Amino acid sequence: MRRKEFINKLKQELKYYKKIDTQEIVFYYEELIQDAIDEGKNEEVFIANIGSVQNIVKNMVGDDAFIEEVRKSNSNSLAKIVGGTVKIFVLFFYGLAIFITFVIAGSVIISGLAVALQSLIYIYANSLMLSDYVIMAGLIAIGIGIVLIGLAIIKSTFRMSQSIKLYIIRKTKQLFRKKEVTNNE
C-alpha cells in the first residue's frame, strides 16, 4: 500500500469518530511516512509495518479514555469549579424545554378535544341534515387527530428527553471547556 492509499483509508476510518482530531493524526502519519522515505526506507514495507488503520484507531480510542482521566484528575481545573453551576444551568434549561413542550402538547390536546366536543354538542343540540352529519363526523375525526398529535408530542418528548438532556449537557460543557483552554493559554 502506498502513502496516499493508506492516508485515505485512515481518513475513512476516522470519519466514525467525532472526538478524534483527524487532521492532526493524518499529519502525524504523513510526516512519519515521509521521514521514513527520506531515510531511505521502502514506502510499502514501512506502511505495512505500521499496521492496519483499524488497529491504529482502536488503540487511539482506547487511549482517549485515559486522556479524559488525566484531564479530570487535574484538580485545579476550572471545570470543577464551574461544574455545579453548569449542572444548575443544564437542569434549568432542560426543565424549561420540557415544560414548554408539555404546555404546547397540552394545548394541542385541549384544542383537539374542544373541536371534537363542540361537534358532538352541535349534533345533539340541533336536528341536522345528513350532509351536516358528515361534516360533523369529519370535524370529530379532525379533533381526535389533533389530540393524537398532542399525545405523540408528549410521547416523543419522553423518548427524546434523555438525548436532549445529554445534548444540552455536552454543549454546555464544551462551552466551558473552550473557556478553560483559552484561560490556560
Partner 1 sequence: MDIQLKKGLLELMVLASIKYEDSYGYKIIQDISNIIEVSESTLYPILKRLEKQKLVKSYNTTYNSRIRKYYSINGNGQEKLKKAIEDYEEVKRMYAFIKR
Query: Can residue 35 be called a binding residue for partner 1 (CB under 8 A)?
Result: yes
For partner 1, the closer CB: 60 or 97: 60
**Residue pair 143/112 in contact by the 8 Å Cβ criterion:** yes
- What is the distance between the alpha carbons of residues 131 and 137, in angstroms, rounded to a whole number? 10
Query: Can residue 44 be called a binding residue for partner 1 (CB under 8 A)?
Result: no
Binding segment for partner 1 (CB under 8 A), chosen from 48-56, 86-94, 115-123, 134-142, is 48-56
Q: What part of residues 13-32 is at the interface with partner 1 (CB under 8 A)?
A: 25, 27-29, 31-32
Query: Please, what is the minimum distance in Å from the beta carbon of residue 30 to partner 1?
Result: 9
Q: State how far the alpha carbon of 66 is from the alpha carbons of 83, 147, 177, in Å.
A: 20, 50, 18
| Total residues interacting with partner 1, rule: CB under 8 A | 23
All 3 cell numbers of residue 50?
505500521
Query: Please, what is the minimum distance in Å from the beta carbon of residue 36 to partner 1?
Result: 6
All 3 cell numbers of residue 91?
437542569
Q: What part of residues 120-179 is at the interface with partner 1 (CB under 8 A)?
A: none
Q: What is the DSSP string of 140-174?
A: HHHHHHHHHHHHHHHHHHHHHHHHHHHHHHHHHHH
Secondary structure (3-state) at 51? coil
For partner 1, the closer CB: 155 or 179: 179
- List interacting residues with partner 1 (CB under 8 A): 25, 27-29, 31-32, 34-36, 38-39, 49-51, 55-56, 59-60, 63, 66-67, 70-71
